[in-house]
Amino acid sequence: MFRNLSFYQQNRAMQKMKIVKYALLICLVSMPAMAANIETDKVLLRGVDKITGRMSTLEAKIGTSIRFGDLSVTPQKCITRTPEETPENAAYLDIVEKNAKGDIVPVFNGWMFSSNPALSAMEHPVYDIWVLSCVVKSPKTPSIVVKNDTYPLDETQPIGDEVIADEDNPALAEDDTNDMPASGRNQ
């Protein structure tokens, strides 16, 4: 391999090869372990009607179609990373449109990524759809009372600004004495 080189050049080449070998070893050892991706059974999408400016949050089960305007969106797969890694959600979507003649026209078929929607964007003159997240099932989601309606405590449901007290939870009742002037209170 080094026949045409002098002793000094051979020695330098061997030193460089050792350095490269150790550098590769350090890179391999210091690389983080690749954790498995999590496949979920639901995907959370954001849809925008460009004409009316209406934004909608859509939740769809894998393999089931949902409607958004004239579009039919069918998620085929949704993958998210483990919580220890950098957040990333990817969904494989089939999006078709039913036109005025009643024909089904494919609009988008491929992967969409939540961290970079422009990487693989759906191009449509009226609608925009992109991936927000893959919904991971939790064993039990606690509930809170908001304006006399019960909502699960997660990011997919709206939560009001104030919590309303009811007869089941007197600790949340408002203190009516605070509305009275200081001179009118019993001291």
Domain containing residue 168: 143-173
Same-domain status, 109 and 168: no
Predicted pLDDT of residue 35 = 58
Question: What's the rounded mean pLDDT across residues 130-156?
Answer: 56
Q: pLDDT digits over 10-67, tens only?
A: 667 777 777 767 676 675 555 555 557 889 999 999 999 999 999 999 999 999 999 9
Predicted pLDDT of residue 32 = 54
Same-domain status, 102 and 117: yes
Percent of the chain with pLDDT over 90: 40
Predicted pLDDT of residue 165 = 42
> Structural domain tally of the chain?
3
Same-domain status, 90 and 42: yes
Torsion of CA 105, 107, 111, 117, to 10 degrees: -160
* Domain presence at residue 181: no
Same-domain status, 119 and 157: no
CB of 117 within 8 A of CB of 108? no
Cβ of 65: how many Cβ atoms within 10 Å? Answer: 14
pLDDT, averaged across the chain: 74
Predicted pLDDT of residue 3 = 66
Question: What's the rounded mean pLDDT across residues 131-151?
Answer: 57
Q: pLDDT digits over 68-116, tens only?
A: 999 999 999 999 988 888 889 999 999 999 988 889 999 999 999 999 8
Instruction: Give me 2's structure tokens.
Output: 């080094």
Instruction: Say whether pLDDT at 7 is over 80.
Output: no
Predicted pLDDT of residue 27 = 54
C-alpha neighbours within 13 Å on the C-beta side of residue 179: 3
Predicted pLDDT of residue 6 = 73
* Residue 157 vs residue 90, higher pLDDT: 90
* Domain presence at residue 185: no
Predicted pLDDT of residue 31 = 54
Closest by CA to 58, choosing from 178, 71, 19, is 71
pLDDT tier at 172 (50, 70, 90 boundaries)?
very low
The Cα 175–Cα 145 span in angstroms is 19
The Cα 110–Cα 132 span in angstroms is 16
* Domain presence at residue 123: yes
pTM, to two decimals:
0.55
